[in-house]
Amino acid sequence: MGKRQESALETKKKIIVAMRSLLEEKSADQIGIEDITTRAGGAKGSFYSYFKRKEDVISVVALECYDGMKGSAGQFAGDVHQHLSSYLMDSARIIDKNTLQIAQNWMKSVVAPIDGEHDGAVKYHFDCDNIKEILEQAFLAGELGEDTPVEIMAEQFVNYEFGTVAAWCITGGKTDLIGSMDRFCRCGLKEMLQPYKKTVEEENA
């Protein structure tokens, strides 16, 4: 990689970091392009070399946090209920940590994408694929039966996850995101898995 490319990547990174910092201080509507570039230490025109509008940076800020979850679906020692609970709770904690404002702008891009935005769909399919992998691993380990509707269950779990985040965004953070997800994991998730879990006799057959 040449010095020019390295410089370009560094500038883009500074813009993303600046946006993350600004979103922790004020709403997206109060942030202008000049605010972002000033915080990043660059010229206003430099922004448009990497992004079309500030919403593009917000999407990057929202999505980059999930990179750390990639590959984690296959690295857990507990049973399927514990594994799924860990995944869903980690996702909720990341969303909560990265502020309500980022989540609201991300949800906006999910339900009303503009100019071909697809970040919301990326996160949805990302979670579906990871949860499907967890369920498939449980099946291969003999924990779940052959009649387990893996794809349907994965979609249902992710639908609940997205619904919980949407409720948190709609109420302006008045609902308890972490608490709601925890209650689902302890009660609803366990009940949904129960019909498909093999008994001790079946596992030893």
Q: Is 188 found in the same domain as 128?
A: yes
Rounded CA-CA distance 175/177 in Å is 6
Q: Kindly report the length of the chain.
A: 205
Do both 158 and 95 map to the same domain?
Answer: yes
45 & 65 share domain: no
Q: How many CB atoms lie within 10 A of CB 141?
A: 12
The pLDDT tens digits along the chain (205 residues) read 678 788 888 999 999 999 989 988 887 778 899 999 999 998 888 899 999 888 788 778 877 766 666 555 556 667 899 999 999 998 898 888 777 877 887 777 777 766 655 566 777 888 899 899 999 999 999 999 999 999 999 999 999 999 999 999 999 989 999 999 999 999 999 999 999 987 644 554 5
Q: By the 8 A CB rule, do 155 and 131 touch? A: no
Biggest CA–CA distance in the chain, Å, is 69
| Domain hosting residue 114, numbered range | 60-204
**Same domain as 40, residue 85:** no
Judgement on whether residues 94 and 153 belong to the same structural domain of the protein: yes
pTM score of the predicted model: 0.74
Q: What is the CATH number of the domain that holds 10?
A: 1.10.10.60
